[in-house]
Structures are given as C-alpha cells and as structure tokens.
Amino acid sequence: MTGAEIIVQVLADEKVETIFGYSGGAILPTFDAVFRFNDQHRRADGKSPIPLIVPANEQGAGFMAAGYARASGQVGVAMVTSGPGATNMVTPVRDSMADSVPMVVICGQVPTHAIGTDAFQEAPVAAIMGAVSKHVFLVTDAGRLEATLRTAFELARTGRPGPVVVDIPKDVQNYEGTFAGHGQLPLTGYRHRLQAVVENKLTDEACERFFTMLAESERPLIYAGGGVINANATRDMRHLASDYGIPVTTTLMALGASDTTHPLSLHMLGMHGTAFANYAVEDCDFLIAIGARFDDRVAGDPARFAPNAKNIAHFDVDVSEVSKVKSVNWHHVGVLKRDLADLLAFGKRIRFNKQFSKWHEHIAELKHKHAMNYDRDSELIQPYAVIEEINRLAGGEAIITTGVGQHQMWAAQYFDFKGPRLWLTSGSMGTMGFGLPAAIGAQFAQPSRLVIDIDGDGSMRMNIGELETATTYGLPVKVVVLNNYGDGMVRQWQKLYYKGRMSGSDKSLHRKDFVKAAQADGFEFATKLDRKENLPQTIKAFIEFDGPAFLEIIIDPDAGVYPMVGPGLSYDQMITGDWIESRVAPSDDQPGTSEMF
C-alpha cells in the first residue's frame, strides 16, 4: 500500500464513519486515497463508507469533528493540508484540548527533505500544535506511519480524552510499503501511567470513609463536571444521586449528566449558574465533586467556595486536578464508571440508608424562591422567552449547540437536557464561531436527532460560511441568531465595570442581512422575527420545517445574563438582577478592569 492508502485503511479499522476536511497540495495523496477507498467499498445503498465532508474553512472542519465527537462519544477526525490549512486548525485543537474532546487531526506537510526550508505552504506544525494538543506526531519514518496512526487514536480516546495531531509529509503519503494490520508505538510512560489509573480500584476502606462522611452529612451535594460525560458514567452518577437522595448541580460542560427536569437537579452552578444552585453550594456540608476541576468559572474564590462543606470528596481520572484549586480530604483517581459502580455496590452491601428530607425541602424552597426569571411584560422580544418556547417544543431531547457570549449562557440556563451529549458548547476556550460547525458535526453523528444551533450575531459572523455546508449536505439543522447588534456579553461587562464605555462592542457592523445570507446559501426557510406577538407560531414553524431552517430574532439589546458572579468573587456576592430574588444585599466588591472575563 501507499502511505495514503495506509492512512485510510487505519481510519476504516478504527471504525471512522465521517471525515471532515479541506484539500490542498500536501494532503492530495490522502484525499485521493479516500476517494478510491469509498469507490471500491461503496455500500449497497450507494453511500460511501467514510464520507469526506468539505467545509468552507479548515476551522469549520475542526469544529465539525469536535461536534461529531461530543455528540457521539467517538473520536472525531479532521484532515487538512499543510501551512494555512494546519494553522487554521489551531483554535479547534486548543478548544478540544481545553474541553477534553477526543479528536485526531491529520495534517499534510511538505516533503521531509523540504522541512525547515520555508517551503511553499510550510508551517512548523509540531512546534505549534505541541503546545495546544494532547500530543503531536511528525511522521518522518514512513515505516512507522501505520503504528503512529493507531497510537494517535489510542491517545485521543484513553485516559483524559483530547486531540492528537499527526503531521504527515507528502513523500510519506506517497511511499509504498507493507500494511501490517496491527501495531502501535511503545509509549511506555503513558501506558504505565494509564495502567496505574486503571488498576487503582476503590478499596473497601476508601468506600467506608466515603460513606462515613455521607452518614455525618445533613446536606450533601454532587458537583458533576464534564468528566462524567466523557467517561460515559452518567447512569452511575445518577444512581448515586437517586439511591441516596443527593441533589446534583453540574458545570457548563456537564449539562445533561443530571436530568434537569428532575426535582433534585439544580441545573448549572458557577459564574452564570442558577441562583438556587449557587446557594445550595453555599449551604451544603458535604461536596462530592465528580469529574470536575474547580475551574475559575465555578470557584472564582476557591477559599470561599462551598464555605460550609466540612468534607469534600473528589473523583477524577487526572491526578493533576486533585487539590489543584481546592483542597479535598477524600479523593480517588481511577476509571470513573467502574469506581461509581463499585461505590454503589459497597453501599448496598452495607445497606447504607439515611434520609435527607429536610435538605430536600430546603432545595425545593431554593428552586422556588430563587427561580430563573425575567421581565415577561416587556414589549421587546426577550431572549429567555425565545429559549423557553424552543425548549417547550424540544422537550429536553434536542442537541443544542451554541456560539459564545450571552446567547450561550441563556441557552445553558433556560434549556432542559434529559440526557448527556445533548449540550455542545465551547467551555474553557470560549470560542466564538463554534456553534454552527459543531451543529453540522453533531447532525452527522446523530442524523435522526433534532439539532439546534443557538447563536449570536457576533458568533454567527465568525463561521457564517458553514451555512452553505449545511445546505450542501442537506442537513436539517436549525439555526437561530439572537441579534442584539453587538457583542452583548462584552457590553454587559462594560456597563457594569467600565462606566458604559462601549469600546469596540457596540459595533457599526449593522449592515448584515442574515436572512438574505441564509437564503443565498440555500436555506428555503429563512426569516426574521421582530414582533413579540409572532413568537410562538414562528418558532413552531421553524422547528417543524422539514430541512435546514434559519431564524434571525431581534432581541432586547439591553437584555443581560443573570445571575452573575464576578471573577474572583464568591457566591454570596452574586448579582441576581431585577427579576431573580437574592437572599443577600448586593456587594460593593467589584473586580478590577484587569480581571475582565
């Protein structure tokens, strides 16, 4: 086989079902091999076994692969050429690294003899990507190509998942050699550390200490992070919560790990978490962190986070996260799904039983008294009302993707998620332009699922070219643009902390006709909603349209995201706005200008 044919055969062996990629000179041999493989192995229905999806931009390919991975739990695959093709992938790779998303990125590279000569479309991919990925390989020995690719998939999906980049010179793609059908690189250190985690099972003594803390507790609370979803441990975490009556709050990345419609679900905590979730964190006496990392959006002031917790337990797969931000007095680093199952089995064996009825009553009161709310009598269209109406039709079963900004937080706050992998957003990196390509990737991963991209006018501009990708492939994605004519989240901060100086956020970019743009890209359903009374029927028609649909909604430009906990502040300094009841007087403490975001 040629090196290019080996690449494609390894993808087939790894059960890759979709490639997202953009062509170019240095990757042409592999693109040709993909074409020939699909032609030779075409299915009875005429479909390709590994379709190659072409975006408008390489960044779109990266976010499509990430959306595919997040929605399916499988490794997403992107394939791009050298130079600008590879550098356009940097942001998606870093985004996936920050959110622990398994992805393999295959980059073409100039021939090995030309590396370092500033050849046409050359970029130092290994140097660039090494800083933002889980690992990067530069394949200069063609005989190691097959083993390298298999190892890349192993690295991407095992341990704490992440993106792996394989940089393959053109001459390596053109080389001819024997396909072994097996083999991986040694990676002795990595596999040794991974094996140590796999072998680190919960002991009876550790389980006994955990249940002793639970027995001593009157107000236990589960704080679940994205690791629960990455580990496919949602069911076991839910059993822990339901078997012992422990309320659950989740991070932005873990929405759906707990069914948000359940009485003991507190939805999301943190900077823009629900007021009742943050108050529950304030009140709990035993915090159980599962696959979460106490990041700054959750624990802005670590010393004052969960101030009444006498004990904190932490489950994770990454030992570096334990006590990194917040000291804990019980932890376990291992395979999360197995460890939670073992913990539950121990609890049944000792017949642990304790009622937390008073705590449940307190939780119900918090949810009632500090419920999410907004100005329902406003004559302007409120973004919260838009999402509530879409949520009523979606019923917590749709895949929701977002860009980044106010619309992202409104979607997180007001949508329900009955299961995992329904909420896809750029968390740690906060990358505008993520929503649309991620929705496309998710629709390929879950073709029968309703997929809705909730976007802002700023985020939509970032990757607006991918509208055509959706219609080209006939994907029934639903795209919502909440248009407040500017960068709303930045404006909100400028109003709060910069005396209303709208530097660069109250854009003069008001000329875009989003509806005409969508129509030009092939959307048969493309309309603008600017009258409140038309909201229910327009959204119903939009959701029920058979095919890709685009809806621009002109919203109240002064609508804000509340609650809000300023960076570096504790939950007792939370700003709840005019429509959500606070239980404390507003604090005078404000972050300085250097602490924005």
Same domain? For 204 and 307 the reply is yes
Length of the chain, in residues = 597
Would 64 be classed as within a structural domain? yes
User: Does 194 reside within a domain?
Assistant: no
103 is catalytic: no
Query: What pLDDT is recorded for position 593?
Result: 38
Q: With respect to residue 288, please indicate whether it lies within any of the assigned structural domains.
A: yes
3-state helix, strand, coil in the chain (%, to 5): 40, 15, 45
> Is 415 annotated as catalytic?
no
Q: Are 66 and 92 in contact (CB under 8 A)?
A: yes
Strand order in the sheet with 103-109: 52-53, 19-21, 76-80, 103-109, 163-169, 135-138
The C-alpha angle with vertex 566 and arms to 285 and 264, in degrees rounded to 5, equals: 40
Does a structural domain hold residue 540? yes
Q: Which of 170, 326, 367, 478 is catalytic?
A: 170
pLDDT at 595: 40
Catalytic site includes residue 5: no
Same domain, 220 and 357: yes
For the chain, how many helices (H) and strands (E)?
Answer: 23, 18
Please give the residue range of the domain that contains residue 101. Answer: 3-188
Could you confirm whether 489 is annotated as catalytic? yes
Domain identity same for 268 and 393 = no
State the CATH number of the domain containing residue 542: 3.40.50.970
Task: Tell me the per-residue pLDDT of 423-459, one tens digit each, with 9 for 90 and over.
Answer: 999 999 999 999 999 999 999 999 999 999 999 999 9
Domain termination residue (choose one: 337, 369, 401) = 369
How far, in Å, CA of 195 to CA of 242, rounded?
31
pLDDT, position 585: 64
Instruction: Report the alpha-carbon distance of residue 393 to residue 561 in Å, rounded.
Output: 23
Give a yes or no: residue 580 inside a domain. Answer: no
* In a shared domain, residues 294 and 435: no
The answer to whether the pTM exceeds 0.85 is yes
At which of 188, 213, 232 does a domain end?
188
Q: Along the chain (597 residues), what's the average pLDDT of each consecutive run of 10 residues?
A: 98 98 98 98 94 98 98 98 98 98 98 96 97 98 98 97 98 97 95 96 98 98 97 97 98 97 96 97 98 94 96 96 95 97 98 97 98 96 98 98 96 98 96 98 98 96 97 98 88 80 73 95 98 97 98 94 92 94 68 42
pLDDT value at position 592? 42
| Residue 213 sits in the same domain as residue 295 | yes
Residue 574 within a domain: no
As for how many domains the chain has, the answer is: 3
The CATH number of the domain holding residue 273 is 3.40.50.1220
Is residue 121 annotated as part of the catalytic site, yes or no?
Answer: yes
Statement to judge: residues 286 and 395 lie in one domain: no
Token pair listed for 268: 């999301």
Asked if 211 and 354 sit in the same domain, the reply is yes
Classify residue 406: in a domain, yes or no: yes
Cα within 13 Å of Cα(480), Cβ side: 29
Which is catalytic among the residues 64, 129, 237, 489?
A: 489
d(C-alpha 382, C-alpha 558), whole Å: 10
Instruction: Tell me: do 501 and 398 sit in the same domain.
Output: yes
Same domain, 179 and 269: no
> Do 215 and 174 share a domain, yes or no?
no
Selecting among 9, 17, 121, 590, the annotated active-site residue is 121
> 211 and 179 in one domain?
no
Residue of 5, 31, 37, 58 marked active site: 58
Is residue 127 a part of any domain in this protein?
yes
Contact 534, 542 (CB under 8 A): no
Per DSSP, 317 falls in state S
**Is 53:65 a contact under the CB 8 Å cutoff?**
no
Same domain, 320 and 464: no
Q: Where a domain ends, among 338, 369, 400?
A: 369
Q: Please, are residues 279 and 362 in contact by the beta-carbon 8 Å criterion?
A: no
pLDDT of residue 590: 53
Check 15, 35, 120, 369 and give the catalytic one. 120
